[in-house]
Structure 1
Amino acid sequence: MIVALLNQKGGVGKTTLALHLAGEWAGRGQRVILVDADPQGSALDWSEQRGHEGSPRLFGVIGLARDTLHREAPELSRQADHVVIDGPPRVAGLMRSALIAADLVLIPVQPSPFDGWASAEMLSLIAEARIYRPDLVARFVLNRCAARTILGRETAAALADHDPPVLASRIGQRVAFASAAQTGRLVHELDGATAAAAEIAALVDEIERLPRTRRVS
């Protein structure tokens, strides 16, 4: 399965989610390749920091910040159970290529009306991609949610009326994610980060239950 994390708005936590999805699948014995398609190269930086810290390699990370992803990602998927694409913000050609490459598109959004407004352009790009990939599955993911906030509930309610819908699993605003990133680790490798790790596991469980598309080669 090829999963792309995309949002034209920056700072929504695409890289953090991409790394943790890849790490969770790897921890379940799956072969995973993470594609860093963001010109900023944050996932590659994380991988390099992990090497400096002497932590074991969990999955491969490669840089492919170019608009040929729709050809290259399917080739990579033959070498892995999952290919996770950490997408770019506001690079139209790259984003369109990632959309056509993907079997599943996850759109991370924070509980903010600004994120909801910014998602309109993303939805337009998904509709365009479905001309070529009519079976493309897409979902919103609520990320960096403060516990039990009215705004979080309102954002979830607003996205419930959208196509694509929002996943039930939510990822909290937790210091553990930032702490892990600084040392090239993931939250399941930190002491005392069980709540964050459980949220990632629940997200992967929900993704696994989504309908699967069948790519025509």
Structure 2
Amino acid sequence: MIVALLNQKGGVGKTTLALHLAGEWANRDKRVMFIDADPQGSSLDWSEARAREGLPRRFAVIGLARDTLHREAPELARGADHVVIDGPPRVAGLMRSALLAADLVLIPVQPSPFDGWASAEMLALLREARLFRPSLVARFVLNRCGARTIIARETAKALAEHDPPVLASAIGQRVGFADAARSGRLISELDGQRAGTREIAALCAEVGRLAP
């Protein structure tokens, strides 16, 4: 399965979710290939930080920020159980290529007024991709979410009947994710981060059930 995490809006935690999804699958003894398709290369930076810390490599991270991704990703997927693509913000050509490469698209969003983050351009690109890939599955993922806040509940309710719908699993606003990003670690490798670890495991399980 090829999973692409995409959003035209930056700063929604796309890279963090992509790395942790890949890491959770690797922890479950799945063969994972990670493609950093964001020109900023944040996932590559995370991988290099991990190497500097002398930590074992959980999965391979390669840079592939070009609009031929849809032709190259299936070849990379041959030797993997899962391919995770960390897509670019605000680069339409790369975004289209990632959409055409994917079996499943996850759109991370933060709880906020609906019109602020349900990017019309992102959804237009998704509709365009489905002309060529009618079976393409897509879901919103609530990230950096205060589960008990009114705005989080309102956001989940607004998306309940939306297309694409929202996953039941939500990821909380936790400092552990920032600490993990800086040190080349996964939240499951940090002490005292059981809640974040459980959230990622639940997300991974729900995504797995969407496999085509």
Shorter-chain TM-score: what band?
over 0.9
Q: Which runs of 4+ in 1 moved over 2 A?
A: 114-120
Contact persistence 2:114–2:158 (CA under 8 A)? no
- Say which SS state the counterpart of residue 15 (structure 2) adopts: helix
Letter in 1 for 2:6: L
1:215 aligns with: none
2:22 aligns with: 22
Letter in 2 for 1:100: L
Which segment is superposed worse, 160-169 or 40-49?
160-169
Contact persistence 2:114–2:155 (CA under 8 A)? no
1:203 aligns with: 203
- Deviation of 1:101 after TM superposition, in Å, equals 0.2
1:66 aligns with: 66
2:10 aligns with: 10
Report which of the two has the higher share of strand. 1
| TM-score, normalisation: structure 2 | 0.98
- Say which SS state the counterpart of residue 168 (structure 1) adopts: coil
Letter in 2 for 1:27: N
The percent identity for this pair of structures is 79
Letter in 2 for 1:10: G
- Deviation of 1:104 after TM superposition, in Å, equals 0.1
Gaps of 5+ in 1: 213-217
- Deviation of 1:119 after TM superposition, in Å, equals 2.3
- The number of residue pairs the alignment matches comes to 212
Deviations 1:23-71 (A, max 9, x none): 0000000000110000000000000000000000000000000000100
Cα 1:33–1:157 change in 2 (3 A) is: same
- Say which SS state the counterpart of residue 88 (structure 1) adopts: coil
- Deviation of 1:141 after TM superposition, in Å, equals 0.2
1:186 aligns with: 186
Contact persistence 1:109–1:116 (CA under 8 A)? no
| Distance in 1 between residues matched to 2:52 and 2:18, nearest whole Å | 21
1:40 aligns with: 40
Letter in 1 for 2:5: L
| Distance in 2 between residues matched to 1:18 and 1:138, nearest whole Å | 15
1:122 and 2:122 aligned: yes
- Deviation of 1:211 after TM superposition, in Å, equals 4.8
Which segment is superposed worse, 58-67 or 115-124?
115-124
Cα RMSD of the aligned pairs, angstroms, is 1.1
Deviations 1:65-89 (A, max 9, x none): 0000100110011011100000000
After TM superposition, the structure 1 = structure 2 runs for residues 100-111 of structure 1, keeping only pairs within 5 Å, are 100-111=100-111
Letter in 2 for 1:203: L
Contact persistence 1:140–1:166 (CA under 8 A)? yes
Letter in 1 for 2:188: H
| TM-score, normalisation: structure 1 | 0.95
| Distance in 2 between residues matched to 1:187 and 1:115, nearest whole Å | 31
| Distance in 2 between residues matched to 1:39 and 1:103, nearest whole Å | 22
- Deviation of 1:161 after TM superposition, in Å, equals 2.3
Deviations 1:122-170 (A, max 9, x none): 1111100001000000000000001300000111111112111000000
